[in-house]
Structure 1
C-alpha cells in the first residue's frame, strides 16, 4: 500500500543519493537549516519533489522521534524510490559527517592531552553553551508559545533535567499522554482499563531494562537506541538525554569530554545527532562509533518508513497532534534544563562567560549567521586565550 507518489520521477535515485552525499558533507547550520536547503534545492530549483510531498515529509519528521533533518531526507528518498530510496538516501546523508566525527574522535583520543586541543575546546565549549541557549530560546517561543498546559510540561522537564542531570524517558511519554488526554480525549477514556495500566507500567519496564549488566557494545547499542527513539524535534534535544546516560549513569565520559563531544557535533556538517558516533568512539573505539551511530539512526529510519504509507491518512488527527505537542514541549524543556547543566561545566572563568554571552548576542543580532563560523572563531580565541591563562 503506497500512497506517496505515483508520477514517474524526473530524476534518478543516483542523482538524489549524490545530492544527499553533498548536503551531508557541506550542510552546516543544524536541522532547520538543512531542511531549508532541501526545500530550496529539491522543490524550488530542481522540481524533483512536490511542495505537498515535502510538507508531508517535514510534518512526519517533526511528529516522529529522531533527528528531523535525517528523517526528512529519508522520507524524500521514500517518495519515489520507496524503501531502497529511503535506505540509500539516509546512509548518504549521514555517512560524511559520521566519517568526520570518527576522524575527530581518533585525533581527540591521540592528541586530546595536548594543550592546543584543550585550548580549542576551551573556546568552543563556551560558544556551544551560547548556541544551545539561543536554540532553546527559539524552540521555546516556537513550540510552547502562550499555551498554559505546554508551559507546565516545559517547566517541569526543565527543572527535573536541571536537578537530576539526566534523561527520564517515561516523562516524555507521560507528557505526550497528558497533552492527548487533556486536548483530544479518546472515546474509551471513561472506560479506563488496559491503557491506563500500560501507561502506569512504562516506568517500571524501563527500570528493569537499565538494571541488566550487558557487555559494553551491547550497553552502547541499547542506550543509543533508547536515545534515538525518544528525541523529538531539534537534534539538540538529544543533549540532555546523552548527558544523563553517558556521564551521570554509565560514567563513560567525564563532563569535559561530553562538552567536547557536543562541540564536535557543532563543527561538523550534517545532523547534530552524529555526536553519538564521536561519543561511541571515545567509549569503545571504531566499533563503539559504528554501534552508537547505527543504534541512534535505526529508530529514526523505522519511524519514517513504517508510518510513511499511512501518514497521509492519520497524521492530522487531533489526538496525534496533541500527543506530539506534549512530547515536544517536554523535549524543549529538557534542552533548556540541559543548557544550565552544560554551562556549569563549560563556563569556568571570565573569558568563557564573555564568549558565551557574545555568542548569544551575535546570534540574536545576526539571524543568518552560520553557527560553524562562531565555533571556528571561538576555537581561534581559545588557542590565543588558553595558553595565556594556563601557563
Structure 2
C-alpha cells in the first residue's frame, strides 16, 4: 500500500510507460484542454495511480499560473514529477508530436487540394460532440477538486461566470483566488517566508528569442518571434490563444485570410491533442514544413520553460500548508474557468437542433457508459456531420 500512498518517492511506472501513455493521449485525445486534463486525472491518478492527487493539483495550478497551453503544461509537469528534466522533455514531446504530424499532413492536403470543404462538415459534427465530452470532463474535475468546500465553490462560481461574460480566462483572478484561500486557511506568521510563491514570477525567454534572432530567413524569423510571444504571453486554455493568433496572423501580418484562419481553428478542433497545435497548420500554410516546425517550437518552448523552471520550487515547497491552500484556491478558480469555457465553446459549436442533440447524446453516452472511449464518439460524430451538413447547408 505504501507505494500507492507515496508514489512521489518511488514511481510505480517507468519513464517509457509514461511516454507511451502521452503518445497515445496525443494521438487519440479529443476534446481540447478541458478533456485532456480530465483524461490525465482519470487515467494517471484514479486508475493507474502513477500520480498522486496533490501532484496532479500542483500541475494544474502551475499550468494556470504560467502563460501557455494548459494541457501541454500539465503533461510536462506530470513527466517532471518522478523523472525530472528528462521526463518533462520526453513527455512533452510525446504529447505534442502526434497531433503536430497530423496538422502538417492536413496543411499539405489543404494547399494541394485548394482548401478542405469536408472539414466544415466534420467540424459541424465533431464540434458538437466535443461539447458533450468537455462537459462531462468539467463535471468530473469539479466534483473531485472542489468537493464541498464553500469557499472553493464561491471561487469556482465567480470564475465560471467571469469566463462566460468575458469569453476569456482572467489570469489575475485565478492568482487572487490562490492568495485568498492561502490567507484564509493558513495566514503566514512570518510574511518574509513566502516559500515557493516567488518561484512563480514570469521568467524571460532569452533562449527562445536568441535562437530565433539568429535565423537568416525573414519570414521564419517573423513566425518565430510572433509565436514565441503567443506562447509566452497568452494565459488560459488552448482556445484563449485564438484571438491573439487572429490579431497577428490575419490583421497584422496578413499571412492568412479570414476563411483560412477559420479552417485553421477547425483543424485544431477536429484533431486530437492540444488545441494550440493549430500553430503548426498556420506555420505550414505560411512557410511550408520549416514554418510549421518554427511555429510549433516557438509556441511550446516558452510553456516548457515556464513549467520546468518553477517545478523544483513547487516540489520543494508544495507540501507547506500555505502552498497547499494556495494551490487549492488556484485549482478551484482554474476549474471554474474551465466550466465557464464549456459554455463559451458551446455558443460557437451548437448552432442548431441537430448539434444540440449530438452534444446531449454525447454527454448521456459518456455518463451511462463509463468505459466508452471518446475517439469512437468523435468518429461517429464526424460521420454524422458529413452526412447531415451538406443536407442542411445547400
Per the TM superposition, whether the score is higher than 0.5 is yes
- Shift in Å, 1:374: 0.9
TM-score by length of 1: 0.71
CA distance in 1, matches of 2:303, 2:339: 23
Change (3 A) 1:346 1:250: same
- Shift in Å, 1:364: 1.1
1:381 aligns to 2:384 (yes or no) = yes
CA distance in 1, matches of 2:146, 2:53: 21
Which runs of 5 or more structure 2 residues have no equivalent in the other structure?
A: 1-6, 31-35, 64-69, 203-220, 252-257
CA distance in 2, matches of 1:381, 1:96: 25
SS in 2 for 1:119: helix
SS in 2 for 1:369: coil
1:298 aligns to 2:304 (yes or no) = no
CA distance in 1, matches of 2:158, 2:286: 32
Aligned position for 2:233: 226
TM-score by length of 2: 0.70
Contact 1:173 1:327 in 2 (8 A): yes
Aligned position for 2:129: 127
1:70 aligns to 2:64 (yes or no) = no
Change (3 A) 1:147 1:247: farther
Aligned position for 2:119: 117
Equivalent residues in 2 for 1:233-248 (5 A)? Answer: 237-239=237-239, 241-246=240-245
Which runs of 5 or more structure 1 residues have no equivalent in the other structure?
A: 45-50, 203-213, 232-236
CA distance in 1, matches of 2:43, 2:131: 25
Contact 1:94 1:271 in 2 (8 A): yes
**Which has the larger displacement, 62-71 or 336-345?**
62-71
- Shift in Å, 1:163: 1.6
1:88-108 deviations in Å (ceiling 9; x for gaps): 453244323322233234445
1:167-221 deviations in Å (ceiling 9; x for gaps): 332222222222222222222459xxxx9xxx9xx9xxxxxxxxxxx95642332
- Shift in Å, 1:142: 1.8
Aligned position for 2:178: 176
- Shift in Å, 1:354: 0.9
Contact 1:154 1:329 in 2 (8 A): yes
**Which has the larger displacement, 304-313 or 380-389?**
304-313
Contact 2:77 2:88 in 1 (8 A): no
CA distance in 1, matches of 2:149, 2:46: 32
Change (3 A) 1:112 1:71: farther
Change (3 A) 1:112 1:224: farther
Aligned-pair RMSD on alpha carbons?
4.3
Change (3 A) 1:76 1:95: farther
Aligned position for 2:356: 353
Among candidates 297, 316, 332, match of residue 335 of structure 2: 332
- Shift in Å, 1:71: 2.5
